[in-house]
Structure 1
Amino acid sequence: MSQIANTPVNDLLSGLDAEQRQAAETLRGPLCILAGAGTGKTRAITHRIAHGVHSGIYNPTSVLALTFTTRAASEMRTRLRQLGAAGVQARTFHAAALRQLQYFWPQAVGGALPNLVEHKAPIIAEAARRLRISSDRAMVRDLAAEVEWAKVSMHSPESYAKIVESREMPNGLAPVSMARIFQTYEELKDDRNVIDFEDVLLLTSAILEEDEKVAASVRAQYRHFVVDEYQDVSPLQQRLLDLWLGSRDELCVVGDASQTIYSFTGAKPDYLLNFATRFPQAKVVKLVRDYRSTPEIVSLANKVLATRRIETSVPDRFVTWPEPLELIAQRDHGPSPEFFEGTDDENEAEEVAQRIKQLINQGQDISEIAVLYRTNGQSQAFEQALTAHSIAYVMRGAERFFSRREVKEGMLALRAALGVSAQEENVSQLVRDVLSSHGYSANAPSGGTGAVRQRWESLSALVRLADELVAGKAAQGEQCTLHDIVRELEERAAIQHAPTLDGVTLASFHAAKGLEWDVVFLAGLSDGLVPITYAKDQAGYDEERRLLYVGITRARVRLYLSWSLARTPGGRAHRFPSRFLDGIKSAGQVSSRPQSPVKRREQKLTPAVCGTCGSFLTSAKERKLKRCASCPAAYDEALFESLRAWRSEVAKANSIPAFVIFTDATLMSIAEHRPTSEQALGKISGVGRSKLERYGQAVLELLAEHSG
Structure 2
Amino acid sequence: MDDFFERKKKELNIELNEIQKLAVMQSEGPLLLLSCPGSGKTTTIIMKIGYLLEEKNVPASRIKAITFSRASARDMAERFKKFFPDQKPVEFSTIHSLAFTITRQFLQKTGVTYDLIEGSNSRKGSVQKHFLLKDLYKKVLKEDCTEDELTALSTFISSLKNRMIPFNEWQEIEGPFERAGQIALQYEQMKTRTYKHLLLDFDDMLTIAEQALRTDEELAAYYQGLYDYLLTDESQDTSLVQHRIIEHIVAFHGNLCVVADDDQSIYTWRGAEPDYLLDFKKVYPDAQLLKMERNYRSSKEIVDASALFIERNKNRYPKKMHTANPEAGPIQIKQLEDPKRQLEYITYELLNEQRLNEVAILFRNNSSSTLYVNELHRRGIPFYMKDADDKFFSHWVVEDILNFMRLSFNMTRKDIFLKIIMKMNAYISRSMIITFERTNTRGNVFDSFMECVDLKKDQIDKLKHYQEVYDKIPQMRPAQVIRMIRYELDYEEALKSRAKKFGFRFDQLSTILDTLEGIASQLKTMVEFANRLKELEQAVQKAKYHPSENAVTLSTFHSAKGLEFRRVFMIDLVKGIIPSDEDEKDRTLLEEARRLFYVGMTRAKERLELLSYQSVDGKQKEDSKFINEMRGILMKPEERKMEKLQKADVSIPLNPDGICQREELSVGMHISHRVFGRGTIQEITDEMVSILFGNTEKRLSLEMVLSRRLLEKVAV
Give your verdict on TM over 0.5. Answer: yes
Partner of 1:579: 625
Partner of 2:187: 185
Which among 552, 558, 561 is matched to residue 510 of structure 1?
Answer: 558
- CA RMSD in angstroms comes to 3.2
After TM superposition, give the deviation of residue 323 of structure 1 in Å: 4.7
After TM superposition, give the deviation of residue 370 of structure 1 in Å: 1.1
Which among 260, 263, 267 is matched to residue 268 of structure 2?
Answer: 263
Which among 506, 510, 523 is matched to residue 571 of structure 2?
Answer: 523
Partner of 2:647: none
After TM superposition, give the deviation of residue 588 of structure 1 in Å: 6.2
Which among 308, 321, 343 is matched to residue 337 of structure 2?
Answer: 343
Structure 2 counterparts to residues 328-339 of structure 1, below 5 A: 328-339=322-333
After TM superposition, give the deviation of residue 589 of structure 1 in Å: 10
The 3 A distance-change label for structure 1 pair 452 and 208 is: closer
8 A Cα contact 1:105 1:111, kept in partner: yes
Deviates more, 1:592-601 or 1:209-218: 592-601
8 A Cα contact 1:336 1:587, kept in partner: no
After TM superposition, give the deviation of residue 460 of structure 1 in Å: 5.4
Partner of 1:391: 381
Partner of 1:468: none
8 A Cα contact 1:225 1:250, kept in partner: yes
After TM superposition, give the deviation of residue 67 of structure 1 in Å: 1.4
**Counterpart residue identity of residue 394, structure 1:** Y
After TM superposition, give the deviation of residue 501 of structure 1 in Å: 5.7
Partner of 1:27: 27
Name the count of aligned residue pairs: 491
Give the secondary-structure state (helix, strand or coil) at the position aligned to 2:329.
Answer: coil
After TM superposition, give the deviation of residue 377 of structure 1 in Å: 1.9
After TM superposition, give the deviation of residue 387 of structure 1 in Å: 2.6
Give the secondary-structure state (helix, strand or coil) at the position aligned to 2:225.
Answer: helix
The answer on 1:110 being equivalent to 2:158 is no
After TM superposition, give the deviation of residue 395 of structure 1 in Å: 2.1
Structure 2 counterparts to residues 359-508 of structure 1, below 5 A: 360=353, 363=354, 365-398=355-388, 450=536, 502-508=550-556
Partner of 1:318: none
Give the secondary-structure state (helix, strand or coil) at the position aligned to 1:221.
Answer: coil
The 3 A distance-change label for structure 1 pair 517 and 587 is: same
Give the secondary-structure state (helix, strand or coil) at the position aligned to 1:584.
Answer: helix
The answer on 1:127 being equivalent to 2:136 is yes
**Counterpart residue identity of residue 561, structure 1:** L
Q: What are the superposed Cα offsets for residues 332-383 of structure 1, whole Å, 9 maximum, x if unpaired?
A: 321222111221112212211111222x2xx2x2222111111112222222
Measure, in 2, the Cα distance between the counterparts of 1:117 and 1:110: 22
Structure 2 counterparts to residues 273-292 of structure 1, below 5 A: 273-292=278-297
Q: What are the superposed Cα offsets for residues 135-176 of structure 1, whole Å, 9 maximum, x if unpaired?
A: 321111111111111111112432322x42xx3x324x2xxx
The answer on 1:222 being equivalent to 2:227 is yes
Partner of 1:641: none
TM-score computed with the length of structure 2 as normaliser: 0.64
8 A Cα contact 2:68 2:94, kept in partner: yes
Measure, in 1, the Cα distance between the counterparts of 2:27 and 2:77: 19
Partner of 2:614: 565
Partner of 1:610: none
Percent of aligned pairs sharing the same letter? 25
Measure, in 2, the Cα distance between the counterparts of 1:68 and 1:579: 31
After TM superposition, give the deviation of residue 202 of structure 1 in Å: 1.1
After TM superposition, give the deviation of residue 392 of structure 1 in Å: 1.9
8 A Cα contact 1:368 1:504, kept in partner: yes
**Counterpart residue identity of residue 277, structure 2:** L
8 A Cα contact 1:509 1:550, kept in partner: yes
Measure, in 2, the Cα distance between the counterparts of 1:287 and 1:96: 28
Measure, in 2, the Cα distance between the counterparts of 1:23 and 1:525: 37
TM-score computed with the length of structure 1 as normaliser: 0.64
Partner of 1:494: none
The answer on 1:549 being equivalent to 2:598 is yes
Deviates more, 1:150-159 or 1:283-292: 150-159
8 A Cα contact 1:338 1:588, kept in partner: no
Give the secondary-structure state (helix, strand or coil) at the position aligned to 2:37.
Answer: coil
Give the secondary-structure state (helix, strand or coil) at the position aligned to 2:107.
Answer: helix
Give the secondary-structure state (helix, strand or coil) at the position aligned to 1:272.
Answer: helix
Measure, in 2, the Cα distance between the counterparts of 1:139 and 1:104: 34
After TM superposition, give the deviation of residue 598 of structure 1 in Å: 3.8
The answer on 1:159 being equivalent to 2:169 is yes
Measure, in 1, the Cα distance between the counterparts of 2:597 and 2:291: 22
Higher Cα Rg: structure 1 or 2?
2
Partner of 1:71: 71
Give the secondary-structure state (helix, strand or coil) at the position aligned to 2:558.
Answer: coil
Structure 2 counterparts to residues 197-346 of structure 1, below 5 A: 197-309=202-314, 321-346=315-340
8 A Cα contact 1:457 1:501, kept in partner: no
Measure, in 1, the Cα distance between the counterparts of 2:373 and 2:365: 14
Partner of 1:87: 89
The 3 A distance-change label for structure 1 pair 578 and 455 is: closer
Measure, in 2, the Cα distance between the counterparts of 1:109 and 1:48: 38
After TM superposition, give the deviation of residue 399 of structure 1 in Å: 6.9
8 A Cα contact 2:389 2:540, kept in partner: no
Measure, in 2, the Cα distance between the counterparts of 1:592 and 1:227: 54
Measure, in 2, the Cα distance between the counterparts of 1:150 and 1:593: 53
Measure, in 2, the Cα distance between the counterparts of 1:59 and 1:147: 40
Q: What are the superposed Cα offsets for residues 201-251 of structure 1, whole Å, 9 maximum, x if unpaired?
A: 111122222322221211221221111122222111111111112243111
8 A Cα contact 1:366 1:504, kept in partner: yes
After TM superposition, give the deviation of residue 398 of structure 1 in Å: 2.6
**Counterpart residue identity of residue 170, structure 1:** P
After TM superposition, give the deviation of residue 559 of structure 1 in Å: 0.9
After TM superposition, give the deviation of residue 525 of structure 1 in Å: 0.7
The 3 A distance-change label for structure 1 pair 451 and 527 is: closer
Give the secondary-structure state (helix, strand or coil) at the position aligned to 1:258.
Answer: helix
After TM superposition, give the deviation of residue 77 of structure 1 in Å: 1.0
Measure, in 1, the Cα distance between the counterparts of 2:91 and 2:563: 22
The 3 A distance-change label for structure 1 pair 450 and 36 is: same
Measure, in 2, the Cα distance between the counterparts of 1:75 and 1:503: 21
8 A Cα contact 2:236 2:261, kept in partner: yes
**Counterpart residue identity of residue 125, structure 1:** K
After TM superposition, give the deviation of residue 31 of structure 1 in Å: 1.1
Give the secondary-structure state (helix, strand or coil) at the position aligned to 1:382.
Answer: helix
Which among 342, 348, 353 is matched to residue 354 of structure 1?
Answer: 348
Measure, in 2, the Cα distance between the counterparts of 1:225 and 1:592: 60
Measure, in 2, the Cα distance between the counterparts of 1:181 and 1:456: 37
Measure, in 2, the Cα distance between the counterparts of 1:327 and 1:385: 37
Residue ranges of structure 2 left out of the alignment (5+ in a row): 120-127, 391-533, 637-679, 690-697, 702-716
The 3 A distance-change label for structure 1 pair 592 and 582 is: farther
Give the secondary-structure state (helix, strand or coil) at the position aligned to 2:192.
Answer: helix
